[in-house]
Amino acid sequence: MENLAFQYTFLPKLSDDADSLQTQDFETSVTALFPNFLFSDHPLLVTPGFVLHLWDGPSTMVQDLPSKAYSAYLDLAWNPELTPRLYAELGFRVGVYTDFETINSDSLRFQGLGVGNIRLTPTMTLKAGAVYIDRMDKKLLPVIGLLWEPDSLTRFDITFPYPRLSKYWTTVGDRKVWWYVGGEYGYGSWTIQRYDFMAMDSVSDQIDINDYRVFVGLEATHPNRLRAYAEIGYVWDRNILYRAPTIPNLKVNDTVMLRVGFNF
């Protein structure tokens, strides 16, 4: 076992409006490292993970979500170096995303990452590629940006769709503390069972919940590889999309984000 991780994310309701949505996500994962993958000097990282999603809302008469859903996945990641100046970030994920009341072919989703990196200078790297997220609304997002590390205490990863700017702040005991700002295209897609008021019965459906997030955070790292972090952010352009053509999509209220986690 190489790495054990836990993360909790909370997006609260900020009002009692019918189109408010509160979410809580409890995610745990463990990473195993397999060295010399394909006879290279770069290991294959294998990460099984599980997420419990707790949902509260919306409370409209048409749109309906279950109180909970689940994500179970297996990640494979490999970052081979092709030349001293050219390396890649390759990832593949297969997972089941469902409330376990509706399980069908749409519950099984495949996602992937392919990014090429060119070291322009010892401190600057150009990044370009794509990430396949396999949602109903969006399947593929471009990955483009620049990684700039002017010194060992500064890391500016200006890359869409997951930019992050990090800077060393201070040392507390034997722990280094960094501050950072970041952004991401958030949430996901699940198959669910919901109540249909027209049919007066439960029906199966698939939903996307999409949003954009920006956040600031503090991260503490320990020499024994323990890492802990806490973030606060803002979430906007939140939309619930339904596969059923008779259910209109719903724009839910903006909110804040609180996220904490650790890995070691």
| pLDDT tens digit at each of 264 positions of the chain | 578 999 999 999 999 898 999 999 999 999 999 998 988 888 999 999 999 999 998 988 677 899 999 999 999 999 999 898 999 999 999 999 999 999 999 999 999 999 999 999 999 999 999 999 999 989 999 999 999 999 999 999 999 999 999 999 999 988 999 999 999 999 999 999 988 766 677 889 999 999 999 999 999 998 887 899 999 999 999 999 999 988 899 999 999 999 999 998
- Return phi, psi of residue 35, to 5°: -70, 160
Q: Residue 112 phi/psi, 5° resolution?
A: -155, 160
Q: How many CB atoms lie within 10 A of CB 135?
A: 22
pTM of the model: 0.94
Q: Which domain holds residue 20?
A: 3-263
- How many other CB atoms are there within 10 angstroms of residue 114's CB atom? 15
pLDDT on residue 224: 81
Domain count, the chain: 1
| 62 vs 125: CA distance, rounded Å | 48
pLDDT at 198: 66
CATH, residue 72:
2.40.160.40
pLDDT at 95: 98
Question: In this structure, are residues 234 and 263 in contact, taking their beta carbons and an 8 Å threshold?
Answer: no
The per-residue pLDDT for 260 is: 98
Helix/strand/coil for 37? helix
- How far is the first Cα of the chain from the last one, in angstroms, to the nearest whole number? 10
* Side chain identity at residue 124, one-letter code: M
As a whole number of angstroms, the distance between CA 63 and CA 51 comes to 23
What residue type is 66 in one-letter code? P
